[in-house]
Amino acid sequence: MFSVAATAQVKPAAAKTDIIHKKAPVDTTVAIAIPHKDSILLLPGGIRIGVDLSRIVSAIYYPYRKEITVVADARINADLYLAFEGGYANTPYSDSNYTYKGNGAFVTLGLDYNFLKRQYPSEKNMFYGGFRYGFSHFNYAVPSYTIKNPYWGDHLTSSIPKTNVNAHWIELMLGLKAEVFKNFFMGWNVRERFLINNVKTDAITPLVIPGYGNGGKRTVLDVQYTVSYVIPFYHVKERIAGTEVKKKKIPKR
Amino acid sequence: MKSIYQILLIGSLLAGIAACENETKVCDQTLSTNLHINFKRDSAGIVRDTIMPKVTAFALGHDSIYKVQPLSNVFFQLSPVADTSRFYLKVDSTLTPDTLTFRYKRTTHFISAGCGFGTYFLLDTVIATRHTIDSVQINIKSVTTSNDTHLTLYFFNQ
């Protein structure tokens, strides 16, 4: 109405003809470009080094499995960690049927992916899945064994000489790590190991493959319980995408 | 954060449970692999499994394995320290006994961490006297389990 009246004052001729010019509705929407820039967030990185405490529990239940495992990882981006484990195992066993001696070292190398959505940029807690490739070089020997036969009354006694063996395996795992004090972590993980090569012979199956577990099984389920400390000496960058151009309504004056 | 501590605790319990199986304490397999022998006899033109009425058997110079009992199968333990084992076999009290001689190769076999070692045998030759035994058939040469029937003895009709 206001618009029509104003037109009538400026152009009186138009009023005479009784023609009303309807103007198209005015679009009050104006495109405003908000700067389209990515942000870069610096997240704490570092090398985390720890030990597997479950080997202590394991040594109680399996007195012949004396093993130490060192675990380490390094953050390579916001959610991905390069993981390493290494250790040494000694397997002394003796009963009335045989004595067994074994020892060797192992390493595993792989990646962990953190599924946990960070509640704040510096959060270091992790719920992760990962995989490892494992390799062990070890040796074993049976200094003496006896095969008893009560019926014949004969005892066969013999030995198996020291043998060197390499074992390869793959691990899939799921676990978590919680920062219980600043830079100090506790965590556990469950893992399934799949042996790639055969280490058994007819004469003997290694009791323990260092880092793998029972030498007689093609797959092994294991649990790790770790305490670790992160040495924070670098940062990793996380790119956060910038805001896009938005349409904003601004009333016309 | 509280829930993370609870999960850590559950994890420690899992570690304990996973460590409870000690395979060196359990021997759930038989240590001896016995030679399994089956008896057969011709009955009205058909060869079929037969029960011999009074079976007595033992390794020469050792105790009886079976003493006058009705059997259709016998299980012999071969010697783990010699490459030949000889057995006395009498299938009826009125019949003449036979002697069976087994020649074989031995290999040591690791059974399990809990059981230790055992012996596998590979049958080479079987020699039998022919008083009651008509013929001997070797079904399986490799004696690694007692579940297989390694040998069949065919008896004369008396």
pLDDT in tens, B46-85: 888 999 999 999 999 999 999 999 999 999 999 988 999 9
The reply to whether B58 falls in a domain is: yes
Closest-CA distance of chain B to residue A38, Å: 31
Q: Please state the ipTM of this predicted complex.
A: 0.77
Q: Which of B122, B139, B147, B108 is nearest to B30 (CA)?
A: B147
Q: Which residues of chain A neighbour B19 with C-beta distances below 8 Å?
A: 54, 57-58, 60-62, 223
Q: Measured at the alpha carbon of residue B75, what is the angle toward residues B70 and B76, in degrees to the nearest 5? A: 125
Burial (Cβ within 10 Å: 0-12, 13-18, ≥19) of residue A15: middle
The reply to whether B121 falls in a domain is: yes
Which of the two residues, A209 and A16, has the higher pLDDT score? A209
Please judge whether A57 and B32 are an interchain contact, meaning their C-beta atoms are less than 8 angstroms apart. Answer: no
Cα distance between the two ends of chain B: 87
Please judge whether B77 and A149 are an interchain contact, meaning their C-beta atoms are less than 8 angstroms apart. Answer: yes
Residue A131 near residue A171 (C-beta atoms within 8 A): yes
pLDDT in tens, A18-44: 555 555 555 555 555 555 677 888 888
Domain count across chain B: 1
Phi, psi of A12 (to 5 degrees): -65, -25
pLDDT at A123: 86
In which region does residue A63 sit, left (phi positive, over 0), alpha (psi from -120 to 50) or beta (all else)? alpha
pLDDT at B96: 92
Please judge whether B120 and A58 are an interchain contact, meaning their C-beta atoms are less than 8 angstroms apart. Answer: no
Its domain, for residue B58, covers 26-155
The reply to whether B63 falls in a domain is: yes
Per-residue pLDDT band at B156 (split at 50, 70, 90): confident
Chain position carrying tokens 């609870």: B6
Which of A128, A152, A155, A201 should one mutate to test binding to chain B, selecting the residue with the greatest count of B CBs within 10 A?
A152
The reply to whether B13 falls in a domain is: no
Spatial distance between the Cα atoms of A106 and A212, rounded to a whole number of angstroms: 9
Q: Identify the closest residue of chain A to B15 by CA–CA distance.
A: A223
User: Using the 8-state DSSP alphabet, how is residue A10 labeled?
Assistant: H
What are the structural domains of chain A?
Answer: 2-36+243-249 (no CATH), 39-240 (2.40.160.20)
The reply to whether B15 falls in a domain is: no
- Report the SS3 class of residue B23: helix
The reply to whether B8 falls in a domain is: no
Cα distance between the two ends of chain A: 16
- Report the SS3 class of residue A2: helix
The reply to whether B10 falls in a domain is: no
- DSSP string of A43-80? EEEEEEEEEETHHHHHHHH-TT-EEEEEEEEEE-SSSE
Amino acid at B119: T
Q: Measured at the alpha carbon of residue A62, what is the angle toward residues A61 and A67, in degrees to the nearest 5? A: 115
Q: Identify the closest residue of chain A to B87 by CA–CA distance.
A: A152
pLDDT at B94: 87
The reply to whether B7 falls in a domain is: no
Q: What value does the mean pLDDT of chain A take?
A: 84
pLDDT in tens, A41-100: 888 889 999 999 998 888 888 888 899 999 999 999 989 999 999 999 999 999 988 999
Spatial distance between the Cα atoms of A89 and A66, rounded to a whole number of angstroms: 6
